[in-house]
Amino acid sequence: MAQLDTVSRILDTAETLFAEKGFSETSLRTITSKAKVNLAAVNYHFGSKKSLIQAVFARYLDPFSEILDKEMDRLEAEYAGGDIPLDVVLSTFTNAILTMPSPTKNGLSAFMRLLGLAYTQAQGHMRRYLQEQYGPVFFRFANMVKNASSDLPDVERFWRLHFMLGAAIFSMSSLEALQDIADKDFGEQAGVRDVVQRLIPFVTAGMSAPLPDLSGSNE
């Protein structure tokens, strides 16, 4: 029980510090100081800073990928080989995020910030880790998106998927600030599900928008 408590304390502290300061800027010494454990405990349970970063992600991605996989099974059974609308495919992804268990109080916001950092900071090991551990599930989802947007060229779909991911990361990682603004400026108390319900039609419209005219864009 004591070991489990130590592991949770290290992971909770690392998650908070990584989300606030970034991966490179957060040292193991800072984590151990905040978590009130010694460096030997981190090395014993995780072995390295890279492994600790991966463990922080795994707390979310393990249950998320399992939920998403089951949701895709359900969709395929429901549509029985027929076309699955894009908004339904995207809703499956967001529903998996909403139902994903969170080990910390503000876990969803922290996780989305971490996901953004995994893209923006030089964390090559994270990309390899995500591909190795969760590649089949994400590839399956990407294939569903491709089938639901078959009129898009592959390169255009690539850009739009990342624009969609960027919108989701910003909205979810800034959720508390956005909720506070909505409450003070518009008198609306928006829950997480309310925000997601607004996000889905927005990103669906973006994925379905006419192709841009790129002629002369490099002149």
Model confidence at 123, pLDDT cuts 50, 70, 90, reads: low
- 201 inside domain: yes
Q: Write down the pLDDT at residue 163.
A: 93
Answer yes or no: pTM beyond 0.75: yes
- 44 inside domain: no
Overall number of domains in the chain: 1
Contacts 24+ apart (CB under 8 A), 88-95: 88/148, 89/141, 89/144, 89/145, 89/148, 90/145, 90/164, 90/200, 90/203, 90/204, 90/207, 91/200, 92/68, 92/141, 92/144, 93/68, 93/141, 94/168, 94/196, 94/199, 94/200, 95/71
Residue 112 makes CB contacts below 8 A (sequence gap 6+) with 168, 169, 172, 173
CATH of the domain at 140: 1.10.357.10
- 141 inside domain: yes
Q: Write down the pLDDT at residue 144.
A: 95
CA distance 153 to 133: 28
- 36 inside domain: no
Q: What is the pLDDT of residues 7-45, one digit of tens each?
A: 999 999 999 999 999 998 999 999 999 999 999 999 999
Q: What is the DSSP letter of 103?
A: S
- Measured N-to-C along each axis, helices 28-35 and 49-79 cross at an angle, to the nearest 10 degrees, of 80
Q: Residue 113 sits in which domain range?
A: 53-208
- 214 inside domain: no
Q: Write down the pLDDT at residue 109.
A: 86
- 169 inside domain: yes
Model confidence at 193, pLDDT cuts 50, 70, 90, reads: confident
Q: Write down the pLDDT at residue 172.
A: 87
- 32 inside domain: no
Q: What is the pLDDT of residues 76-115, one digit of tens each?
A: 999 998 999 999 999 998 889 888 888 887 778 888 888 8
Q: Report the range of poorest mean pLDDT among 25-34, 59-68, 117-126.
A: 117-126
Q: pLDDT above 90 covers what percent of the chain?
A: 68
Q: Write down the pLDDT at residue 102.
A: 85
Q: pLDDT above 70 covers what percent of the chain?
A: 95
Q: Write down the pLDDT at residue 1.
A: 45
- 19 inside domain: no
Average pLDDT over the chain, rounded to an integer: 90
